[in-house]
Chains A and B, each alone.
Chain A
């Protein structure tokens, strides 16, 4: 029973983590809460659904197409709505992000309608596997597997490649990085592309997990993922992974303990409690107050 819930929690948590990574990377570089990120997640889910149900593509191919589409979407959003505001107050950028978010979810509602759509039966063969008294579906294994490999790929890009080094330098100090000859605009676009691709993968996986894709799925998922990013310490990549998993597991355990009507509050209650004890999140760096 415990093991069963743990698996459910990890599967849910890894989708939160996938979305949270996009929030945390963007925040780490331009200190913007990208409120449109939840809608990118939603767009990814819709593209994946479209590819599987209309174009009859293989599930994995559909997911890759969704990721590529959202990469472009993320870069375009940054170019149009955030780049002109980079020098102005952070709240203006925040409102701009909210505007994009409203725009995208309304657009999705107009194109796909207001009701939730499901993936076709044969999208992914779901089987139950018995392991030590727990029923694990192949779908959960898929979600955990895909999330884990994407996160490893991300860690590789950030730690081992040249562009990853540039990303870390930019998030350390934007102006100095620019002085060192790093093309900061390119790095920011790249960050948006990677974050959006991860969110799209998360969208397709969540769509498959709940078998429901709707225009407003981005809002709550985005808020919770953002909570996960802050919980782990915003700006920290391992923090986002940890925060996502922690939120997913607590939420599942909370529901299993009979608090299902408080489901959406559990994540935020954990967040508030952690922030009161550790104001910069679990793995966030201590911010030195400068005079």
Chain B
């Protein structure tokens, strides 16, 4: 089956394929951060650090064990979520910007630790062997993307997701309603970091060379920009944000050195003209239902109501 899929992808321009994979990895990372920052309202500036935990553990699993890639990714996610819980448990007591700077601090610490560990080959970085699977990478990535979107949509509409939205809306009111705020925050952090780990694992095997310095503050900011640009708390928003920002550097490539200049300016103008993100305030279900010619049901709309920031 693997060879047939490989042959299928052989017809697609490799450069285009690379962009498509980048978009897929971006979506997984953005959806993970969206659970923490968009849904629960806890600003994290250290998402890339969890991505690096995932990237290195996934790479080491491939090097030292013969586990199939899907098991590898699952284990990677669990390891990363474990790290996320250990870090998140003490710091999620903090609120707002104090939490933000703490996640940033932890991200820098994780980076420096990886730069000094023997097992991660210090500052030289790690070459990642090809994954133990016959499914080609682009298809693997997009299977994960679809699974992620399904799982995150379930979370959004579940009792758990509503509790997270309540915490985002007003922490004290949520607590008064009997929501165990501390526990839910750590759980949402675990889900977000799980996805960060899986995204990191995919990234490591796709790029096939990882270096702790690749997962710095700017990478975290990249992911955060995807979520905010798309609209906080919105799943289609995160997908669109990740797509635009993963593809933008490629499409701006013709401008060569002006690329990042335009990118920076774009972020500012986007925020000025659509401060709540591209999909902010737009109800995706309603749009889809209207498009297929059905009147949206009120109950459907309530389910997707976004908490105001």
Among the listed B101, B106, B108, B225, which residue makes an inter-chain contact with A98, where contact means beta carbons less than 8 Å apart? B225
Chain A residues with CB under 8 Å of B65's CB are none
B105 touches A271 (CB 8 A): yes
Determine whether B272 belongs to the interface, using a CB cutoff of 8 Å to chain A: yes
Number of interface residues of A (CB under 8 A): 49
B228 touches A92 (CB 8 A): yes
| Complex Cα gap A152–B101 (Å) | 28
| Complex Cα gap A261–B112 (Å) | 8
| Complex Cα gap A52–B106 (Å) | 39
Determine whether A184 belongs to the interface, using a CB cutoff of 8 Å to chain B: no
| Complex Cα gap A31–B232 (Å) | 19
Among the listed B37, B113, B264, B272, which residue makes an inter-chain contact with A265, where contact means beta carbons less than 8 Å apart? B113
B115 touches A98 (CB 8 A): no
Among the stretches B71-79, B89-97, B132-140, the one at the interface with A is B89-97
B97 touches A85 (CB 8 A): no
Of all chain A residues, the one with the shortest Cβ separation from B38 is: A91
Chain B residues with CB under 8 Å of A234's CB are 97-98
Determine whether A269 belongs to the interface, using a CB cutoff of 8 Å to chain B: yes
> Quick one: which of A238-291 are within 8 Å of B by CB?
261-265, 268-269, 271-272, 275-276, 279-281, 289-291
Q: Taking the nearest CB of chain B, how far is it from the CB of A98, in angstroms?
A: 5
B263 touches A102 (CB 8 A): yes
Q: Given A89-B309, A96-B271, A106–B97 Cβ distance below 8 Å? A: no
A85 touches B271 (CB 8 A): yes
| Interface of A: prevailing SS | helix
Chain A residues with CB under 8 Å of B91's CB are 272, 275-276
| Complex Cα gap A85–B275 (Å) | 7
Q: Given A89-B276, A92-B276, A102-B264, A269–B221 Cβ distance below 8 Å? A: no
Q: Given A85-B272, A272-B102, A291-B172, A91–B108 Cβ distance below 8 Å? A: no
A92 touches B108 (CB 8 A): no
Q: How large is the interface on B (under 10, 10 to 19, 20 to 34, 35 or more residues)?
A: 35 or more
Among the listed B100, B102, B176, B229, which residue makes an inter-chain contact with A33, where contact means beta carbons less than 8 Å apart? B100
Chain A residues with CB under 8 Å of B224's CB are 95, 98
Q: Taking the nearest CB of chain B, how far is it from the CB of A108, in angstroms?
A: 10
Determine whether A75 belongs to the interface, using a CB cutoff of 8 Å to chain B: no
Chain B residues with CB under 8 Å of A104's CB are 264
Determine whether A141 belongs to the interface, using a CB cutoff of 8 Å to chain B: no
Chain B residues with CB under 8 Å of A84's CB are 272
Q: Taking the nearest CB of chain B, how far is it from the CB of A39, in angstroms?
A: 10
Q: Given A84-B272, A279-B94, A268–B267 Cβ distance below 8 Å? A: no
Q: Taking the nearest CB of chain A, how far is it from the CB of B143, in angstroms?
A: 31
> Quick one: which of A36-81 are within 8 Å of B by CB?
80-81
A106 touches B261 (CB 8 A): yes
Determine whether B66 belongs to the interface, using a CB cutoff of 8 Å to chain A: no
Q: Taking the nearest CB of chain A, how far is it from the CB of B201, in angstroms?
A: 24
| Complex Cα gap A99–B266 (Å) | 7
Determine whether A230 belongs to the interface, using a CB cutoff of 8 Å to chain B: yes
Write out, one digit per residue, whether chain B residues 54-75 have a CB within 8 A of any chain A CB (1) or not (0).
0000000000000000000000
| Complex Cα gap A103–B268 (Å) | 9
Chain B residues with CB under 8 Å of A290's CB are 172
Of all chain A residues, the one with the shortest Cβ separation from B116 is: A261
Determine whether B293 belongs to the interface, using a CB cutoff of 8 Å to chain A: no
Among the listed A81, A106, A268, A291, which residue makes an inter-chain contact with B104, where contact means beta carbons less than 8 Å apart? A268
| Complex Cα gap A92–B268 (Å) | 9
- Residues of B participating in the A interface, judged by any CB pair closer than 8 Å: 37, 43, 90-91, 93-94, 97-98, 100-102, 104-106, 108-109, 111-113, 115-116, 172-173, 176, 217-218, 221, 224-225, 228-229, 232, 257-258, 260-261, 263-268, 271-272, 275-277, 309
Known: A106-B264, A219-B217. 13 other contacts (CB 8 A): A98-B267, A99-B263, A99-B267, A100-B264, A101-B264, A102-B267, A106-B260, A219-B218, A226-B101, A234-B98, A261-B116, A275-B101, A279-B98
- Residues of A participating in the B interface, judged by any CB pair closer than 8 Å: 27, 31, 33, 80-81, 84-85, 88-96, 98-104, 106-107, 110, 219, 223, 226-227, 230, 234, 261-265, 268-269, 271-272, 275-276, 279-281, 289-291
14 example contacts (A-B, Cβ-Cβ < 8 A) are as follows: A81-B268, A89-B276, A92-B277, A99-B263, A99-B268, A102-B260, A110-B261, A223-B104, A234-B98, A263-B112, A265-B111, A272-B105, A279-B98, A291-B173
